[in-house]
Chains A and B, each alone.
Chain A
Amino acid sequence: MTFTAPDIDYAGLSPIIALTTGLVVVLLAGLVGRAQRRLVSLLSFITLGAAAGLAIWQFGESKDLVAGALRVDDLGLVATLIAIASAAFVIPLSWREEAADDAPGPAGHGEFQALLIASVLGMAMLAMSQNLITFFVGLELLSIPLYVLCGSALRRRQSLESGLKYLIIGSLGSATLLYGMAFIYGGSGSTDFAGIRDGIGGSLAEDPLILIGIALMATGLAFKISIAPFHQWTPDVYQGAPTPVTAFMAVATKAAAFAVFARFFEIALGPAVGDWQPALAALAAVSIIVGNVGALTQSSLKRLLGYSSVAQAGYMLVGIVAANAAGVQALFFYLTAYAFMNLASFAVITIRERETGFGDDIRSVQGLGRERPELAWPLTIAMLGLAGLPGTAGFIGKLYLIEAAVEGDYTWLAVMIAVGTMISLAYYLRVIAAVWMRPAYHADPTPETGHRALPAMAGGSPEAGTDDFAGTQVVRGESRIGGIRCPVIIGLTILAAAATVFFGIIPSPLVDFVSGAGDSIVAGLE
């Protein structure tokens, strides 16, 4: 018996190698030295920068790696780049976050950032996978660090609860997905996407094994990208997790999961498009309605964005339902725009959490327009963009999605996007109204001394109301009210908002960036 080692294309694998190396280095660097925040962050940035550089270098390539387990193409690389960019955005956001600061022992930043990089690594792998095995490994590599990160604010009950909740629900999702994979393997006799494609042939009406497999896998993925009705964990986990982690989770997870979603459904299950299309269309519609209606009554900004992300996932799913190259392009255009808008919003929330005693309650941004225009404008632009108003990348993204949906003969789904957007106006505009049209809220229990409130205490659960203020604990004595204390974060926030407007007016560069993703799907079908 002879064993031939698989031919490994190191160039194609290089982003993943860079992330793996960086992960180890950052983790070890976190163990030494006192001024570790700077060192660790520097190393993390180098890692992410190198990975991004290598990914851009590989852009436009289209080749199988490691005996077909992974595939380097624009689809995977676009998702990887979005994940890397959001991780790089989130690191400065986490600098003063207690998750990193207050962890027992000196390893806070090192652990935090190493976990972040591990998750990015999982995302890169997931986005490039074209085999059920790498698919699952990538997904778990993505998820497990996130479970830990959610619970990383060790002294906050909500954070721990959020981590535990995410762990349980996430594992349930993973298990469902794995179960579905088993069915697919059983039905088609292959774990390889191309093999599955060949194995399932035409219609699946007489093939319950594969139909069940598809249903279970769609459910598992729906858990991960918080598509209703599998979204119940989203608001709770989003609210409880430290805000930078929430930001990362909302953006990067979606990018990677949607990449594999598109690849798996459109390539592996391509022949059965007629079977899964109506089901996914229904999921998208339900998600749009449930997410938008759920967000209407929220007073916690993180919960609001949690529900909004359920709705946004519904919009994005339309890109997959359309089942054409334009749909995948639209999906990734929207994802990129969504990344800018969401990161800007979460950055503002993070800053206000530290400056006011209201945590992420909507009162924390009241009167921002008068007091802190440099924060008010990015938040306003982000909200207008999420609402899909013209002049922002969000509008072009919706336009793109609607066009893809109509082209794919799903006009009613296009109308659903419009209807969802209408509902969403009510809550996005409420935030903008709070920022510009209401006076700053000064009934802060400890306004001038500026004791830092515990973020999740602010909203608690929606039922608990805001009585938790009374129990505000003093975590740190120094005043943080007023003044710009975090120029890097503010700079990044403004940058993200500026990108939202820029790509709303001149969308062509972004269209070029994502157009390869659509081509990858077409190439995969051949």
Chain B
Amino acid sequence: MLNALLWLPLAVAVLVALAPRRFAGPLSVMGSLGTLALALALVLDFDSGLPGLQHVVDESWIPELGVRYQLGVDGISLFLVVMTALLWAASFTWSAFRMPDRPKNYFLMLGVGEFATLGAFLAQDLLLFVLFFDLMLVPFFFLIGSYGTGERVRATIKMMVYTLVGSLLMLVGAIATAILAANETGELSFAMADLRATVLPEGSQDWIFCFFAAAFLVKMPAFPLHGWMPDAYLAAPPPVLGLLSGVLSKVAAYGFLRIVLPIFPDATLQFQELILVIAVLSVLYGSVMAFTQTNVRLIAGYSSIAQLGFITLGVFSLTADGANGAILQMVNHALVVVPLFLIIVLLAERFGGEDLRQMGGAALRAPLLAALFLIVTLATLAMPGSANFIGEFYILNGLFDDKTAFAVVAAAGIAMAAFYALRLYQRAMHNPLPSGASSREIGLTDALVLVPLVGVILILALTPGTILKRGETSVQDKVGAVAAAGDERLEASVAP
């Protein structure tokens, strides 16, 4: 089943590349909906009582190097996979309605992107994960470089170099992990389950942790490592940007939870404070920047930095609550940010640019658009009643016990989110209409994509438990490793 889910997008993408041009759009949309259906079937087929992996696929791939083709899904990745399939389907559909120039390449790359992202979420072999993590970037390089606007080539090369700097070091780290583990067990294996079973010496854990953290923090991006973000966000085509900001960044946060916490528990404990500081800085910096930007894309971009900071806080609170909240928040943020970027396209069409200062009054004759935008905005600022509120609540709850100071500062970030989100909504939708612009209702084809997405936000607001319940057991498992390491450390310090 996971095989079908993983390979279907790629197969469709190749088919699209070979088929005549006019089939490109419909074929891709059908393929992505098929993938979504498979992902939903996966949820129905998921047994939330089991903590371990389900639907495991385990094949030999490069035996000489100890690399296996191992897939599996558990409570952590389940909804991330569904979210990926859903958002890709939205992006495919949106793009198909507004056919880009050279559509075959476009849809091919988008499909490869979905393949790689699903692969990263499903991989249970460390090297396979690294491979998909790197591969993810390649289609986005082409999508931004070929179909973007403005300084697209420079921006896309900058993004590639930035993000690959991290992930190449991660490759070295992954290999070192496996070889160090092999020195103890005598058998070279990259399987995450095997790597968790062997605890590496603390010194090695530290530097390998740094390599992984670099890869993930750049990808997110987190505060001091976000240099590629503004350029890439300004250049990327909006449906692609939604995926970049909504889904790709989550792979990084997921990587922390899936790989770093269980495999490098000692180092995680060691660097917990440092990462928390980075996360809090990201929250504050992202919020402040989002508030001061006038380009609507960058408002959404910097708010993403803040949101990812929040998610990182949850992961590195090293409590079950925090991690649970982080998973919920990953899904939430992705669901919010994709419609947000699509709405930005609509706004840009109405006002002839993406400058917030030239917008206003868009809600005048467009109640549906206004309603959709309002829901997205309220979800962004984590209004009580939204799933985002529950996610952030969990995260802060997890953080408060032990790291109160961080929780207090981070809470300020929530207040700032209300600031920038409402500012964005008000300036664009209320205020008087600028001369020359007109308020238009959302078109049918656009609504066809946006309404279901916003519908999912609403459903999730009503039933956040669906995600939390399935995540719980798996999360305990991941955080447990670090807790055990912490106990050991405590004992060691008490013993002499």
Q: Is B160 an interface residue (CB 8 A)?
A: yes
Q: Are A402 and B134 in contact (CB under 8 A)?
A: no
* Docked-complex contact A515 and B64, CB < 8 angstroms: yes
Chain B residues in contact with chain A, CB under 8 A? 62-65, 67, 102, 105, 127, 131-132, 134-135, 138, 141-142, 145-146, 152-153, 156-157, 160-161, 164-165, 168-169, 171-172, 175-176, 179
Chain A residue contacts of B63, Cβ below 8 A: 508
Contact across chains for B179 and A391 when beta carbons are under 8 A apart: no
A407 to chain B, nearest CB (A): 6
- Which B residues are in CB contact (< 8 Å) with A400? 65
> Does A370 contact B134, Cβ atoms closer than 8 Å?
no
Task: From B142, B156, B161, B171, give the contact of A399 (CB < 8 A).
Answer: B171
Q: Can you show 19 pairs from A to B with CB atoms below 8 A apart?
A: A388-B168, A389-B135, A390-B138, A396-B62, A396-B65, A399-B175, A403-B175, A403-B179, A414-B176, A415-B169, A415-B172, A421-B164, A425-B157, A426-B157, A437-B145, A437-B152, A508-B62, A508-B63, A511-B64
Answer whether residue A406 sits at the interface, using C-beta atoms and an 8 A cutoff. yes
Q: Are A418 and B169 in contact (CB under 8 A)?
A: yes
A430 engages B179 (CB within 8 Å): no
Q: How far is the CB of A423 from chain B (nearest CB, A)?
A: 9
A60 interface contact, C-beta 8 A: no
| Residue contact B175 to A402, C-beta cutoff 8 Å | yes
Q: How many angstroms from the CA of A515 to the CA of B63 in the assembled complex?
A: 12
Q: How far, in Å, is B23 (CB) from chain A's closest CB?
A: 18
CB–CB A433/B145 < 8 A? yes
The A392-438 residues at the B interface (CB cut-off 8 A) are: 395-396, 398-400, 402-403, 406-407, 411, 414-415, 417-419, 421-422, 425-426, 429-430, 432-433, 436-438
Q: Is A145 an interface residue (CB 8 A)?
A: no
Residues of B within 8 A of A384 (CB): 138
A507 touches B (CB below 8 Å):
yes
Which chain B residues lie closer than 8 Å to A438 at the CB level?
A: 153
> Interface size of A by Cβ–Cβ distance < 8 Å?
38
Is the pair B168, A422 in contact by a Cβ cutoff of 8 Å? yes
B-side contacts of A417, CB under 8 Å: 172
CA distance in complex: A390, B134 (Å) = 7
Residues of A within 8 A of B142 (CB): 436
The answer to whether A422 and B165 touch across the interface, beta carbons within 8 angstroms, is yes
Contact B146 A437 (CB under 8 A): yes
Please report the C-alpha to C-alpha distance between residue A148 and residue B105 in the assembled complex, in whole angstroms: 44
**A425 near B164: Cβ-Cβ < 8 Å:** yes
Instruction: Looking at the assembled complex, report how far the CB atom of A463 sits from the nearest CB atom of chain B, in whole angstroms.
Output: 25
Asked if B179 and A407 sit within 8 Å, CB to CB, the answer is yes
- Cβ contact within 8 Å between B168 and A418: yes
A515 to B157 CA separation, bound complex (whole angstroms): 36
Return the chain B residue nearest A402 by Cβ: B175
Please, how many angstroms separate the alpha-carbon atoms of A390 and B129 in the complex? Answer: 11
Contacts of A511 in B (CB 8 A): 62, 64-65
For the complex, what is the distance from the CA of A429 to the CA of B138, rounded to whole Å? Answer: 10
Residue from the list B64, B102, B127, B138 in contact with A391, Cβ < 8 A:
B138
Query: Nearest CB to that of A507 among chain B residues?
Result: B62
Determine the distance from Cα of A369 to Cα of B145 in the docked complex, in whole angstroms.
13
SS class, residues of chain A in contact with chain B:
helix
Chain B residue with the shortest CB-CB distance to A438: B153
Question: Which of A402, A426, A432, A437 has the largest number of chain B CB atoms within 10 A?
Answer: A437
CB distance from A295 to the nearest CB of B (A): 14
Over the window 173-204 of chain A, the binary record of Cβ atoms lying under 8 Å from chain B Cβ atoms (1 yes, 0 no) is 00000000000000000000000000000000
Closest to B157 in A: A429
Task: Tell me the bound Cα distance from A155 to B25 in angstroms.
Answer: 53
B175 touches A414 (CB 8 A): yes
- Name the residue of chain B whose CB is nearest to the CB of A399: B65
Q: Would B127 and A399 count as touching, CB distance under 8 A?
A: yes
- Asked if A418 and B172 make an inter-chain contact with CB atoms under 8 angstroms apart, the answer reads yes
Residue of B nearest to A400 (CB): B65
Identity of the chain A residue whose Cβ is nearest the Cβ of B137 in the assembled complex = A389
In the complex with contacts A391-B135, A411-B172, A414-B175, A437-B153 CB distance below 8 A: yes
- Of the candidates A407, A418, A432, A515, the one whose C-beta lies within 8 Å of that of B171 is A418
A406 touches B176 (CB 8 A): yes
Q: Contact at A370–B157, with CB atoms within 8 Å? A: no
Q: In the docked arrangement, what's the CA distance between A235 and B176, Å?
A: 35
User: Within 8 Å CB of B145, what residues of A?
Assistant: 433, 436-437
Are A433's CB and B156's CB within 8 A? yes
Known interface pairs A402-B175, A406-B176. Does A390 touch B135 (Cβ–Cβ under 8 Å)?
yes
CB-defined contacts of A399 to chain B, threshold 8 Å: 65, 67, 127, 171, 175
A390 and B132 CA atoms in complex are apart in Å by 8
Q: Are the C-beta atoms of A422 and B135 separated by less than 8 Å?
A: no
The interface centre, meaning the residue of A390, A391, A422, A425 with most chain B CB atoms within 10 A of its CB, is A390
Which chain A residue shows the least CB distance to B133? Answer: A390
Measured in the bound complex, the distance between the Cα atoms of B190 and A403 in whole Å is 12
Query: How far apart are A315's CB and chain B's nearest CB, in angstroms?
Result: 13
Q: Which B residues are CB-close (under 8 A) to A369?
A: 105, 146
User: Given B138, B172, B179, which contacts A389 in the complex, CB threshold below 8 Å?
Assistant: B138
- Tell me the minimal C-beta distance from A402 to chain B in angstroms: 5
- Name B102's contact: one of A370, A395, A411 (CB within 8 Å): A370
Q: Is the CB of B161 within 8 A of A422?
A: yes
- Decide: B64 and A395 in contact? CB cutoff 8 A: no
Q: Which of B131, B132, B152, B172 contacts A414 (CB 8 A)?
A: B172
B138: nearest chain-A partner, CB-CB: A389
Cβ of A429 and Cβ of B160 under 8 Å apart?
A: yes
CB distance from A149 to the nearest CB of B (A): 36
| Partner pick for B168 among A421, A426, A436, A507, CB 8 A cutoff | A421
Measured CB to CB, the nearest residue on chain A to B112 is A391
Contact of B160 among A370, A425, A508 (CB under 8 A): A425
Name the residue on B nearest A413 (C-beta).
B172
Residues of B contacting A422 in the complex (Cβ-Cβ under 8 angstroms): 161, 164-165, 168
**Given the complex, which residues of B lie within 8 Å of A429, measured CB to CB?**
141, 157, 160-161
Residues of B within 8 A of A403 (CB): 65, 175, 179
User: How many angstroms from the CA of A433 to the CA of B65 in the assembled complex?
Assistant: 33
Which of the listed residues A432, A508, A515 has the most CB atoms from chain B within 10 Å of its own CB? A432
CB-based nearest A residue for B136: A390
Chain B residues near A388 (CB, 8 Å)?
168
| Alpha-carbon distance between A508 and B134 when the two chains are bound, in angstroms | 21
Contacts of A425 in B (CB 8 A): 157, 160-161, 164
The 4 closest A-B pairs by CB, nearest first: A418-B168, A390-B135, A437-B145, A390-B131
Residues of chain A lying within 8 A (CB to CB) of residue B176: 406, 411, 414
Residue of A nearest to B170 (CB): A418
Minimal Cβ-Cβ distance residue in A for B169: A418
Can you name the residue of chain A whose Cβ is closest to the Cβ of B128?
Answer: A390
Beyond A390-B131, A402-B171, A426-B161, 13 extra complex contacts between A and B, CB < 8 Å: A390-B135, A391-B131, A403-B179, A406-B172, A411-B172, A411-B176, A414-B176, A422-B161, A429-B160, A437-B145, A511-B62, A511-B65, A515-B64
